[in-house]
Chain A
């Protein structure tokens, strides 16, 4: 049990970062299809099972892995060329280590932290390794020895450095509000409520929220700030000369960076792993009631999902009958989950079982919020056109930076004047 609970956040980090990449690629394509009024990839299948198109992303990943490793002959600095994607990947992955996935759990004597790295550095750790990610881009662009790559790397670097300032300053105002840098304590602050509004970062610091979300888009080089890889001007930017899994690492790193900033936004502004108004102790005390609520919710959603699936999954493939398989799986899984949960709801379960149950629920809440943020990221990408490069710089230095400074000033005045948010 000891080892499991220590390893659990590490495994979750890998799941939330690496294993969500195929799902994110799938979401990106299907939501693009939805927004542009088409279907998106949905034909790729293994023996007739398509999983709504996820198999397509798996096929793409396989393609990247098994592609020939090709080294352009004009590359002189082979070491820098090869090490660049791994720096980008590593720093993106490391930013994920401090995100709390659930409240600290106490079983008997031992207390376990549900962060991969149980440190109270929190936000600072994120900033440190998000900053290091620039080296991957700079080195990749420089070592590619290609005008397009260098231009892309310069754009990306200037953008990341510029927006990092506004990001850091918007974080400072959040630190003043919460009075801590530990992400876990920030989440527990957000369980309070302010009249009837939950004291989430997005409600008590709307300006900082907007600045942080905008800078997060720019930091991760996502549209509307992806002039660094504007294909109509500079081919693919800093990874023009990269192929196979070397490109794959850059690609995955970009998605992990997006997932990490999404996770940080959830933690800072959307209440993290907590439900509004309820803190962990409330959840543990009303565990039976909570379970019955979840059972009803699970039944309703799976019936609705089943109906929706049977209505829409009409495209017949060769191989096994997909609709039948999914119906069996959904019904089987729901029945299994409901039986399991009613056992725990009826049997007078022990304190540690309750705590573990609440922990699992908090993982689920965090996941739902995180995927909502992913949806927002993708939604913005397919809605807004790309900013011109000078517009990006102007927005960063002339608007976001002064705005975040003013926000810090106002926050400091309010906090010093003794107005207490929450309670």
Chain B
């Protein structure tokens, strides 16, 4: 019961803050509500016993990436008159949500049809660092290494792009 109440509160926060993130006029409002979204998603992970994901979500997304984004937004020093006049924003939002609606319907249908048992008992070590690490390095070594090469390429690319102007 407690878990359900917490889940509803957290998912309400997540949904509201992600809506604010999309619809906010100023970039700083968007970035800050994105932080709220990420932290509440992290809390949802925590609720699902995935403690490692919970901590990693906060360290990587909320702690590192978003603080860099905020840093850049602060650096740009955007004034209100610099922002574009978003006259048709509501129509855009309405249009895109109409386009996305069928896909969401499929997704909901899939979730309803799938046989994921609600409240299924997970084994004791589920989501702990040891378990995640063992799974990652035994069953998923190849994808893991490929992803890390991808990240390395992106890193090198960022460095070369920013070096060009010197």
Contact = CB atoms under 8 A, between A and B. Distances in A.
Interface of A: 80, 119-121, 124-125, 127-129, 131-132, 134-135, 138-139, 141-142, 150, 153-154, 157-158, 161, 164, 181
A124 B59 contact: yes
B91 interface: no
Most chain A C-beta atoms within 10 Å of own C-beta, residue among B68, B71, B77: B71
Interface string B40-68: 00000000000110011011001110011
Contacts of A161: 64, 67-68, 71
B interface bracket (residues with beta carbon within 8 Å of A)? 20 to 34
17 contacts: A120-B51, A120-B128, A121-B55, A121-B129, A124-B52, A124-B59, A124-B129, A128-B55, A128-B62, A132-B58, A135-B70, A138-B70, A138-B71, A150-B74, A153-B74, A161-B67, A164-B63
Nearest to B74: A142
B103 interface: no
B59 A128 contact: yes
A135 B67 contact: yes
B109 to A, nearest CB: 36
Most chain A C-beta atoms within 10 Å of own C-beta, residue among B62, B67, B68, B77: B67
Contacts of B58: 128-129, 131-132
Which label, helix, strand, loop or mixed, suits the secondary structure of the B interface? helix
Nearest to B28: A142
Contacts of B70: 135, 138
B51 A138 contact: no
Given A132-B58, A135-B70, 6 more contacts: A121-B129, A124-B129, A128-B63, A131-B64, A142-B28, A154-B75
A129 B58 CA distance: 8
Contact of A141 (B52, B64, B74, B129): B74
A134 B75 contact: no
Contact of A134 (B51, B59, B67): B67
B35 interface: yes
Contacts of B77: 150
B63 A132 contact: yes
Contacts of B129: 121, 124, 181
Interface of B: 28, 32, 35, 51-52, 55-56, 58-59, 62-64, 67-68, 70-71, 74-75, 77, 128-129
Nearest to A133: B63
A142 B32 CA distance: 12
A127 B59 contact: yes
Contact of B63 (A121, A134, A154): A134
Contacts of A124: 52, 55-56, 59, 129
Contacts of B128: 120
A138 B64 contact: no
Contacts of A121: 51-52, 55, 129
A125 B59 CA distance: 9
A413 to B, nearest CB: 19
A125 B58 CA distance: 9
The 8 closest A-B pairs by CB, nearest first: A131-B63, A128-B58, A124-B55, A128-B59, A134-B67, A142-B74, A138-B70, A128-B55
Contacts of B68: 161
Contact of B67 (A127, A141, A157, A181): A157
Contacts of A154: 71, 74-75
Most chain B C-beta atoms within 10 Å of own C-beta, residue among A80, A128, A154, A164: A128
A164 B74 contact: no
A72 to B, nearest CB: 18
B67 A131 contact: yes
A316 to B, nearest CB: 54
A141 B74 CA distance: 9
A127 B54 CA distance: 13
Most chain A C-beta atoms within 10 Å of own C-beta, residue among B63, B71, B128, B129: B63
B74 A119 contact: no
Nearest to A141: B74
A161 B68 CA distance: 8
B74 A132 contact: no
Contacts of A150: 74, 77
Contacts of A131: 58-59, 62-64, 67
